[in-house]
Structure 1
Amino acid sequence: MKEKEIWKKLLSSNRINDIKKKKESSEQFQMDIRNPFERDADRIIYSYPFRRLQDKTQVIPLPIIDFVHTRLTHTLEVATVGRSLGKIVEEFLLQKGHIEESQLNHIPTIIYSACLAHDIGNPPFGHSGEDSISDYFIANKGKNYIDDYFNSELKLAKTKDLQNYEGNALGFHLLNNYEEIGLNLTCATLATFTKYPRISYIDGDSQTNKSERWNNDKISQKKYGFFIHDLETFKLVAGETGMIPLKDGISWCRHPLSFLLEAADDICYRIIDLEDGFRVGKIPFIECEEILKKIAVNDHNWKENKYNTVINTDKRKFSYLRSLVINSLINEVIEVFKNNYDEILSGNFDKELLKMVDNNIIIDAINNIKDLVKKYVYKSADVLTLEATGYEVLGGLISEFIEASNNHDSNGLNLSKKHSKYFDLLPNEYKSSDKDYYIRYLKICNYVAGMSDSYALNLYQKLKGIKI
């Protein structure tokens, strides 16, 4: 059957470094009861970039209250939802005869692993951090340096990598280059991880700055998923898993499981951003309750009497509603996936599953949640203040380290004692006298973007003499 062969490639357990060496993956530990994708999950969890997520912003920057979400707690919740979606889809495919029983538990574990990694490249202070890095190369000295130092080969793509700096691309870079050899994950996990399988610049793109998305009706092409530096690695991933090319060698259709990763993320961040807003006292419970109940009542576990009599505090009510809402949205997303399965497999479907739910009440409720969080949380003075702080911190660090790199020639000499100290502060793996200034700058951006919120803030304050 054609579909079986397609899924055999989509679920490839071959590891990326083995593909690079042109050899079949052979798992070393014959006594290991884990499947290859479970090993992927463990490799991600034990990595340093994953650990740093515990001190990276979800919605409340640098929280002083310990029950709000960080990127780490958000990631763990997304992974559990992704795994649930995977279990249901796997049963669906098994019943259709599109996968073998020997492949059982592969799909949920692939999605679980990819979900664990999905935010691993997020810079400190969230999207504010991305914007700060991008803006340095759009309007500040960085733009002049690009004009002066970037050679003509792939100049547009290299420029867009920096002027539209993207956490998703850093995530792919870390997974494949961290400590030089990366985590050596399976191609199925890497393909599922890559929600935006394209480079940053394709001839005909209409995007002119970071605040605009590409004018493209395909959700998978709205951002980019890997730097031009990592294009050859992604080509190997795409080839191994049979991803369908859109533009030869620079963009592809999504891996089918990537839609489920995206849905898990969408479900979780909508609900938990609302919950954090409620828990820190920014959003009145009555407004949360009104919206969440519209979704929760669709779940078969909803019990009106229990909700009104037994569950007697606002916090407990929110927890109960959250559980039913997530379960209800999982089931709705699964129906969308099933109804569009043939198009998804053929590469003709390219939309967000959650937005395609065939229930206007639920869609309206999801949109109302978005509006509520934006009104009370995203636009609140303390959140905006801390985001502005993050913008200054990352921009300041990038500026100083770029200056240090520019002043440092291939003989190790430096034109400025100040920047000599900055250069010495860079870890060895991020120091570069490469003649390709794109590589120099990308390493520095990746160093700063890989920091945790607190580390970036403390380093900036020390370098500026604000704190000793």
Structure 2
Amino acid sequence: MNIRLETEKIEGNILSKYATLSKNSKGRLIEEQKCSIRTDFQRDRDRIIHSKAFRRLKHKTQVFIAPGGDHYRTRLTHTLEVAQISRTIARALRLNEDLTEAIALGHDLGHTPFGHTGENVLDEIHQDGFKHNEQSLRVVDLLESSEERKGLNLTFEVRDGILNHTGATMPVTLEGQIIRFADRIAYINHDIDDSLRANIISESMIPRDCIRVLGLKHRERINTMIRDIIENSYDKNRISMSEEIKFYTDKLRDFMFQNVYLNKKAKSEEEKAKRIIKLLYKFYMENFSELPKAHKEFYKDVNFSKEDIICDYIAGMTDRYVINLYRQIFIPKSWNK
């Protein structure tokens, strides 16, 4: 009995003509024997969920560095919200939920400690620059290793969706295109929620026309945006928003940049975070031998520069790990006779 073949048959019967069928995947970088239970996209989703990089997301900043409350989003909860939104859209459009979920769960695996602050610092100091979407692909292609192989050896469609979830290039699948919208829907709305909780903004500050069109409450805005995407994308070969909803979504994003993402109060710890990452990068450039032995040995069969190896090490750290490492290296310890 082959459950995978039955699932693939079901996909062919019920999914849209624009859906990406798992049996039609362009395949993996290294050919593997197929699973008798799971489709290729289901296997990719499972590999991502069980990866160390995925687990580390729970201790990586979304917007607020070192928040005191328990209810602020982390990079992991952001990822889960993107997965939920994207699956809702994919199901309504009869697209491949498994592919959409796999891309959503893997899209931010390459994010740095301290969120976009960390990304911007590495982009500034690393010789080849740094983009978290490119690093996410590097994570699944190389850095997540096992005894059997380097990398998770994911399918072309999942890798394409991860790489192109942001930037100028569109994913080749509609499932990948969904993530670009779901990512923005998630972060705009949950960042508003967190900013209200942190008293960075108040409801009275949110543009009145955005509230009128999109809704005042968190759930109302998300519902409006999701419904609009479904209505404008149903039975079509591209994912899109209506001009009206896109305009007010973008206006809400601009509001967040002006009042939160660039807000001095919200970013009060940002300069410290920048300094920590810069100092660690400089330290390891000057003391390469101090990198963990296991990390250096990982690269013995691949040709990467010292800068790349250090950048991978720092980018993979959680907020608390990088802070503890900074203390260990730069803060004097008490003398015990």
TM interval, shorter chain, is 0.7 to 0.9
2:188 to 270, 279, 291: 270
- Using the alignment, how far apart are the partners of 2:271 and 2:192 within structure 1? 22
Match of 1:381 in 2: 264
1:186 to 2:155 alignment: yes
Q: Distance in 1 between matches of 2:195 and 2:72?
A: 9
Q: TM-score, normalised by structure 1?
A: 0.60
Kindly tell me: are residues 399 and 367 of structure 1, through their superposed partners in 2, closer, same or farther at Cα, counting changes over 3 Å? Answer: same
Distance 1:63 1:6, change over 3 A: closer
Q: What do residues 130-176 of structure 1 show as CA deviations (whole Å, max 9, x unaligned)?
A: 22223224xxxxxxxxxxxxxxxxxxxxxxxx432111111111112
Note closer, same or farther for the CA distance 1:49–1:193 as it changes in structure 2 (3 Å cut).
Answer: same
Match of 1:173 in 2: 138
TM-score, scaled to structure 2: 0.82
Select which of 278, 282, 286 maps to 1:403.
286
Report whether the alignment pairs 1:283 with 2:201. Answer: yes
CA–CA distance in structure 1, aligned partners of residues 71 and 332 of structure 2: 30
1:108 to 97, 116, 123: 97
Q: 1:386 to 1:353 in 2, by over 3 A?
A: farther
Give 2:114's match in structure 1, choosing from 98, 104, 125: 125
Closer, same or farther: CA 176–35 of 1 in aligned 2, 3 Å: same
Return the alpha-carbon distance in structure 1 between the equivalents of residues 25 and 79 of structure 2: 24
Aligned length: 315
Q: Which runs of 4+ in 1 moved over 6 A?
A: 3-6, 432-437
* 1:38 aligned counterpart, secondary structure: helix
Post-superposition Cα deviations, 1:302-361, rounded to whole Å, max 9, x if no partner, equal: xxxxxxxxxxxxxxxx6xx222221221122234434862xx4xxxxxxx845xx222xx
Using the aligned pairs only, state the percent identity: 26
Partner residue, 1:248: none
Contact 1:220 1:254 in 2 (8 A): no
- Alpha-carbon offset, residue 460 of structure 1: 1.3
When residues 466 and 254 of structure 1 are mapped into structure 2, their CA distance, relative to the original with a 3 A threshold, is farther
Q: Which has the larger radius of gyration?
A: 1
Aligned counterparts of 2:140 and 2:227: Cα–Cα separation in 1: 31
Q: 1:466 to 1:55 in 2, by over 3 A?
A: farther
Unaligned runs of at least 5 residues, structure 1: 19-23, 92-106, 138-161, 198-217, 222-252, 298-317, 345-351, 406-422
Q: Aligned-pair distance for 1:289?
A: 8.3
How far residue 69 of structure 1 moved from its aligned partner, in angstroms, is: 0.6
Q: Secondary structure at the match of 2:84?
A: helix
RMSD: 3.1
Tell me the secondary structure at the aligned position of residue 243 of structure 2: coil
Structure 1 distance, partners of 2:109, 2:101, is 14
Deviation at 1:296, TM superposition (A): 4.2
Match status 1:440 vs 2:310? no
The answer on whether the counterparts of 1:124 and 1:449 sit within 8 Å (CA) in structure 2 is yes
Q: By how many angstroms is 1:364 displaced?
A: 4.3
For the 8 Å contact 2:18–2:235, the answer to whether it is kept is: no
